[in-house]
Structure 1
């Protein structure tokens, strides 16, 4: 029974990769990863892939890829986000049994996972491959921004070709977790919590005080009445006061808050 199950999984993976290749060919778009390892890398054995951006090493380390966020797998109920399974299968095909890695400057997240840049056998960034395939979103969280420039290019390739996640519009939804939205800034204030950019939705964007120096005052105020694109993790406020927006989206880097008014 176990042997049959493994064969079925291998068949599904092969089918996905085949369909993905055919789709890319049909659109005459060449998906090329742009990020190569800069500096020395170490080799590790992989125990298993958890989802599109998380793996376990054989030595027990749980590793979160830096620079990319992929759709969530619902391991409990099977209600996966769109392209979550595709991202997971693609990551499995890229990694195999071994992977090269570099530690990020801040190498551990609040869940205890190690934060690494991962590379395939050709020293190509796995985050870059996922982004080029449209199976994840680029994200910048200081100080772990080493490969941001080329990751931006990788994502742009998929976006321009409407691959994967870029087939659907990114309308704001009142849902906790990672999000990418296009909204209009209606008012801007600043206090000890940082910058607060209210939007035309039930959403306020927060640029936290500890990293607010990444934005100049002029740049922030210039966003008023502008259509912007923002990405990060959002949560619902505990306060039910009607004076405040119900949802807060935290943005931690200028790459993740862009004026897109001219694109409209």
Structure 2
């Protein structure tokens, strides 16, 4: 009987700790709505870019598929791009276009667009909704880390449920979007991707940290070394990981430049929190 009681106590403690960890993740998207800058949004241009007060604004912490552009420099469209835009527009419209703005470490991107975390009046995170829908992907840029754990958790929820982009990938594996295996990459796979492969080399030059998969070179420029722990990168050698960012073809090989460790799944906030 004592053994049974001890087992039940241990099980309840385990459940309680698990629930607390899960709740902590969910709460990372919470904010004090009274401290936000409240205004009216105009409309969404894509699933991660919208117009607010006649200015283009980017949603920090995520990436949405790009809508095809047919101007002088043609940009091919990515899967479910229009659907992501529509989802964001409906989310805004259903809340009377009222949004609360929170800024992070970096307020402007390299195209002078404001980078914001966006909330609805009831405290709901717009980014969290977009990621849980499966129309967007978590992405850490400009060292904007507020709510990062929440965003990656939201993406994982969509991935587990095979929603939208994840359902598209399951049904169209030859499209290599949003995820592609390094061994199966082709010259058509440039652009934003999550690339999965085994790390076969970790090294350091005078200007880069170097991680190589079979066909993919991953590089961290010296100016971003301060964000990384090189010992943690060395520990990835021989492991199969996922990296996310813009893939580009150079001299017959695919490359990806990283500026933050969260771009590596093994170093992401949800994986670090579980250690």
TM-score range normalised by the length of the shorter chain? 0.7 to 0.9
- The question of 1:218 aligning with 2:212 is answered no
User: Secondary structure at the residue paired with 1:45?
Assistant: strand
Question: Offset at 1:79?
Answer: 5.6
The 5-angstrom pairing of residues 143-158 of structure 1 reads 143-158=143-158
Bigger drift between 71-80 and 213-222 goes to 71-80
Task: Please identify, of 120-129 and 206-215, the stretch whose mean Cα deviation from structure 2 is larger.
Answer: 206-215
Which residue of structure 1 lines up, in the alignment, with residue 192 of structure 2?
Answer: 178
Verify the 8 A CA contact 2:193 2:245 in the aligned structure 1: yes
Partner of 1:94: 91
Paired residues in the alignment total 220
- C-alpha distance in 2 between matches for 1:53 and 1:236: 25
TM-score, normalised relative to structure 1: 0.76
Distance 2:124 2:40 in 1: 17
Give the alignment's Cα RMSD to 1 decimal: 2.2
2:44·2:51 contact (CA, 8 Å) conserved in 1? yes
User: TM-score normalized by structure 2?
Assistant: 0.73
Runs of 4+ in 1 over 4 A off after TM superposition: none
1:257 alignment partner in structure 2: 264
Q: How far apart are residue 46 of structure 1 and its match?
A: 2.0
| 1:66-125 CA distance string (max 9 Å, x none) | 001011111428963112111111100111233211122211111111111111232211
Aligned equivalent of 2:163:
163
Q: Show the counterpart of 1:193.
A: 207
Q: Give the alignment of 1:23-172 within 5 angstroms.
A: 35-38=29-32, 40-58=35-53, 60-76=54-70, 80-96=77-93, 97-167=97-167, 168=169, 170-172=179-181
- Deviations along 1:49-69, one digit per CA (max 9) or x if unpaired, are 1100001112x3210000010
Q: Give unpaired runs (5+ residues) of structure 1.
A: 1-32
CA contact 1:119–1:126 (8 Å) conserved in 2: yes
